[in-house]
Copies of this chain bind each other. A is one copy, B any other.
Amino acid sequence: MAESEEKVLPMGLFMDLERSGPIPLYFQVSQRIEKAILNGELPVGSRLENEVGLAQRLGLSRPTVRRAIQDIVDKGLLVRRRGIGTQVVHGQVTRKVELTSLHDDLTNTMKTPSTHLLTFESVAADDTVAEKLSVVLGTPTLHIRRLRLADDVPVAVMENWLPEEFLTIAPDDLVTYGLYQVMRARGITLRVARQRISARKSTPEEAGLLDVEKNAALLTMDRTAFDNSGRAVEFGHHCYRPDLYSFEVTLVEK
């Protein structure tokens, strides 16, 4: 069938592998294959060259090539079947949810983000915040509430609680750079985030902030983020205008 056509990757794609640089070989390979899928050089349904052959052609070991391919499989762009081969998944590609801040999201989509800082205060952790941040009840925390806009249109109301060490953050930096960038600047590397996505009606106050009618439907997300030592460094409750923001997820059966 036409769908299973063999398709050999152009040699040119792998001409300039940098073997001594800091970028891992498997990453260089996976980037090139992914690019070939996204720009149509590898059409949907087509078969990828087999692992062993590809490894020989590139002068790499099979595990290295295998890892490159597996990374793309995990992104949902390829499917593999034992005894069959590797094929490009049909359907247009959608960007998946990533561990990024809203600030980054809006920047990437060519909108100009801005922020109104609504609240910036020290509060004692209540039951929920204490549990989410793994601190004892009543511990001081930084409580912030922000209105985020894209091209001056309100998109989200974001409420966050952070461990007390962040009380020294400058409010102006928060407005200028966004929360995650400020945390990165303080040496915090976010590694894991657990999110719960749901929906509810807006409160009258939120309706005013987001410029929607009263009782409009809002998309909500609760998120707890952990740094690279496994410590909870942020808990937040966000609500988004569903006409301006939604979440995309790609799931891959393992």
Contact = CB atoms under 8 A, between A and B. Distances in A.
B195 A232 contact: no
A218 interface: yes
A58 interface: no
A186 interface: no
A248 B232 CA distance: 17
A128 interface: no
Nearest to A227: B79
Of residues A3, A98, A192, A246, which shows the largest number of chain B Cβ atoms within 10 Å of its Cβ? A192
Copies of this protein in the complex = 2
Contacts of A191: 79, 252-253
Contacts of A89: 192, 226, 230
A228 B3 CA distance: 13
Contacts of A194: 76, 91, 94, 96, 248-251
Interface of A: 3, 44-45, 63, 76, 78-79, 81, 87-92, 94, 96-99, 131-132, 134, 189-201, 215-220, 224, 226, 228-232, 242, 245-253
